[in-house]
Structure 1
Amino acid sequence: MFILDILFYSFIVVVCFQVSFYLFVYGRFAFSKVQKAAPKKISVSVLICAKNEADNLSSFLPSIVNQDYPEFEIVLINDASSDETLKVMEKFSEMHSNIKIVNVKPVETFWGNKKYPLTLGIKASKYDFLLFTDADCKPVSKNWIKAMGANFSNKNDIILGYGAHSKIKNSFLNKLIRFETLITAIQYFSFAKIGVPYMGVGRNLAYKKEAFFNANGFMGHMNIKSGDDDLFINQIATKDNTTICFAEDSFTESVSKKNLKSWIKQKRRHVSTAKHYKQSHKIVLALSYSFNLFFWILATVLLTFTFKWPFVIGILLLRLLVQYIIVGFSAKKLKETDVIILLPFLEIFLVIVQLYIFINNLIAKPKHWK
């Protein structure tokens, strides 16, 4: 009984931490309003780095080309593709004068490292404002460039956007992927709102070219194959130079993985960069995940032994209520409300998957970005 008493009070501490975190950190984004920024008269370079993405480029490049924006270029970076990627790029380039191709040959030193071709693309771009997305992404609106670019200012060097995943009907995996994407966005938007920006996603990210070169580009972590988006933002973002954009016109949508194995492989690459974040960011993120894990373990143990079960159920429901409110308001902003009904189940699965990824990354590190 003594052990169960300890577990019970530990459960209370965990829930108090989580409720406070949801209300005072995640709540900053959940209860915020879209700030309508006036359109800027700036020229924008859109950069897309692609490796063996012929089919996706054929499908999604038209949504970039047809953006309603007065002056922009599209820099297509072919990272030593072995398929028809370069030919697809050349086809589009022949039809549209604002497309520039950077064809990157294999370099043994930088094999499997997206940062090298991306650096060449940035150097080749002619405009001072850079907007990034992936080859398997499409903007949800013709006003994507306008919505993201409007947030640049003398102060704002970095714009963090939202990159959603396409919906697949009757797929639990798809809901899990989109739930993970939603929670990640809530985290990095919320931390940016409280003045502690720590990451962005390459599916929808913008920054000034000047900020890139002032930071010596990716040189501080060029030896790390992943992290061209989140690790770079972790390096240069501050409360003074970073803002967020979650206007609906600013969203992008990428192709969702259709099997668990390929999604886990993708997430392993993403998670592998987290250990290189600033120490304070690593501690907070580790605590957040640990408390999530402990919450479900402690709740399961206490309910299995029916130890003070009315109190345990009450505390559990309080935590879920706060979570539903915060995540629900956030999901409404990001147009992901259909995942909310399965929230507890998705969270449990996600906690398990994240633990599996963490263990696997300790055993064997991901080798390259594609």
Structure 2
Amino acid sequence: MPFSHFSFYGFCLFYAIQSYFLVRYFLKLAYYTHGSEVHFNPSPVSVIICAHNELHNLKSNLEGILKQDYPDFEVIIMDDRSQDGSYEWLKKVQETYQHLQINRIEKTPDHFNSKKYALSEGIKAARHEIILLTDADCRVNSKNWIAKMAHSYKDETSLVLGASLYEKKAGLLNAFIRFETIQTAILYLSLALNKKPYMGIGRNLSYRKSLFLRNKGFNSYSEITGGDDDLFVNRLSNSRNTRICIEKDSTTFSQPKTDIKAFVTQKTRHLSVGKYYRKKDQLRLGVFHFSQTMLWIFFIFVLGVTNTTTFFLVTLLMMLRIIGQYVVFYKVSIKFGEYNKLRLLPILEIIFIFYYWIIGIHALLSKKVKWR
């Protein structure tokens, strides 16, 4: 078979796979609305935040959580060995907000990852069945954050997956971080919407306390760095017990990393957990990322070795795919409450392909890292 034919057939194969993900999953998320599906559930909620030397972030973001428009909720801060005055400041805030609970951790057991231990202790201390998680550096997008997440529960629901984005800043690194974050959100939320949940983000995640206790929390992977959010969801989610919440008022926003080294360290920690996912989820994600990579490789090959007619055909097909991507990213961004022009989308996707394989391999080979 001539190389030009091989390149064209390869392009068509991976184009078909990527188109399947786009049409079957991503467009469905882009046009998804809660509508009448939202079930009002005024159950009391326990918001839990683990913080290690997060005084600056707590001062910036905690008030927005404490002033939520919801009839019955508590906010639990797990102060994990902080030495920046966080505990003392929180005690003063507690004088104004009686629904604020502060738990101080002085030492983490040797066999337990510090983040998971802090979170486990916070869940055990929670008074309510509905647990809602976020981080100290997260800003809630409205006073209805708790209400939107809590109202997504139905009788059979055990987990609710929310979206968490990064604040917009200047520069290519920030554009890439936001692109990577939205693409990840599109993947896990669209698959969950299609009854194939595989992960969640701890910056905006809710589940039942009884689910956590019944499955002995993080005990089976307590020593693994990370996984308190995505691995927990991966182990316990199924087609019936998981729902998503992607309304503007339910989104949280975090401060992005501002240098490449810090970003790489953060993503290495996140990606290193992927090898513990269920095999079916590893396969599905592997097919998506591998086909995404090979599509661009074969596209470049085809442009270099084929005739004019084929050249224009594959170029047209790639333009149609890019338009589809723009539609998905634009509509999903609007749902999240962030207008994202994404003018550099094709370039960012190519950068993402290099990033994913380099950082992914590094994550698989890296040694154990600490939370903080």
- TM-score, length-scaled by structure 2: 0.94
Tell me the CA shift for residue 130 of structure 1.
0.7
- Aligned counterpart, 1:361: 363
Give the whole-Å Cα distance in 1 for the aligned partners of 2:342 and 2:13: 25
- Aligned runs of 1:74-93 on 2, under 5 Å? 74-93=75-94
Q: Which moved more, 1:358-367 or 1:226-235?
A: 358-367
Give the distance between the partners of 2:89 and 2:266, measured in 1 at CA.
25
Please say which of residues 352-361 and 235-244 is displaced more in the overlay: 352-361
2:145 aligned residue: 144
With over 3 angstroms needed to count, the CA separation of the structure-2 counterparts of 1:111 and 1:218, relative to structure 1, is closer
Aligned to 2:184: 184
Displacement of 1:229 after TM fit? 0.4
CA offsets 1:128-170 (integer angstroms, 9 cap, x no match): 11110000001110111111111122111111111121111x3
What displacement does 1:319 show? 2.2
Between 325-334 and 214-223, report the one with greater CA deviation: 325-334
SS in 2 for 1:340: coil
Letter in 2 for 1:352: F
Instruction: Tell me, yes or no, if the aligned pair for 1:272 and 1:366 is still in contact at 8 Å.
Output: no
Relative to structure 2, which stretch is displaced further, 112-121 or 31-40?
A: 31-40
Aligned to 2:318: 316
Deviation larger for 20-29 or 118-127: 20-29
1:84 Cα offset (Å):
2.2
SS of the aligned residue for 2:104 comes to strand
- Find the counterpart in structure 2 of residue 97 from structure 1: 98
The alpha carbon displacement at 1:306 in A equals 5.3
Matches within 5 A, 1:1-370: 2-35=2-35, 37-110=38-111, 112-168=113-169, 170-305=170-305, 308-370=310-372
The more displaced of 288-297 and 81-90 is 81-90
Distance in 1 (CA, whole Å) between partners of 2:263 and 2:15 is 30
CA contact (8 A) 1:14 1:295 kept: yes
1:16, CA displacement in angstroms? 1.0
C-alpha deviation, 1:202, in angstroms: 0.6
Looking at structure 2, the residues matched to 212 and 219 of structure 1 have their Cα atoms a distance apart, in angstroms, of 10
TM superposition outliers: structure 1 runs of 4+ over 6 Å: none
Relative to structure 1, is the Cα distance of residues 233 and 186 closer, same or farther in structure 2, using a 3 angstrom cutoff? same
Deviation of 1:362 after TM superposition, in Å, equals 3.2
Task: Give the drift of 1:298.
Answer: 1.7
Instruction: Indicate conservation of the 8 Å contact 2:17/2:288, yes or no.
Output: no
Offset of 1:43 from its aligned partner? 1.0
- State the aligned residue count: 369
In structure 2, how many angstroms separate the alpha carbons of the residues matched to 1:35 and 1:205?
21
Deviation of the 1:325 alpha carbon: 2.6
In the aligned structure 1, how far is the partner of 2:294 from the partner of 2:279?
22
- Alignment deviations for residues 226-245 of structure 1 (CA, whole Å, 9 cap, x no partner): 10000000111111111111
> Secondary structure of the equivalent of 1:357?
helix
Question: Which residue type is aligned with residue 285 of structure 2?
Answer: L
Counterpart-to-counterpart distance in 1, 2:194 and 2:265: 32
Distance 1:103 1:255 in 2: 25
User: Is the 2:330–2:341 Cα contact (8 Å) retained in structure 1?
Assistant: no
**Rounded Cα–Cα distance in structure 2 between residues aligned with 1:248 and 1:14:** 34
- Whether contact under 8 Å (1:78, 1:104) holds in the other structure is yes
Give the Cα separation in 2 of the matches to 1:277 and 1:298.
Answer: 29
- Per-residue CA deviations over 1:196-225 (Å, capped at 9, x if unaligned) read 111110111111111111111111211212
- Structure 1 stretch displaced more, 332-341 or 120-129: 332-341
Root-mean-square deviation (Å): 1.7
How much has 1:104 moved relative to structure 2? 1.2
- 3-state secondary structure, aligned to 1:203: coil
Q: What's the offset of the Cα at 1:352?
A: 1.3
Q: 1:38 offset after TM fit, Å?
A: 4.9
Deviation at 1:251, TM superposition (A): 1.0
* One-letter code aligned to 2:151: A
Q: Structure 1: which 5+ residue stretches go unaligned?
A: none
1:284 is matched by which residue type in structure 2?
Answer: R
Q: 1:110: how far off?
A: 4.3
Cα-to-partner distance string for 1:332-358 (whole Å, 9 max, x where unaligned): 322344243221011111111112211
Query: Following TM superposition, by how much is the alpha carbon of 1:285 offset from its aligned partner in structure 2, in angstroms?
Result: 0.3
SS of 1:317's equivalent? helix
Indicate if the aligned counterparts of 2:272 and 2:364 stay in contact, CA closer than 8 A: no
- Distance in 1, matches of 2:332 and 2:70, equals 29
Deviation of 1:112 (Å)? 4.7
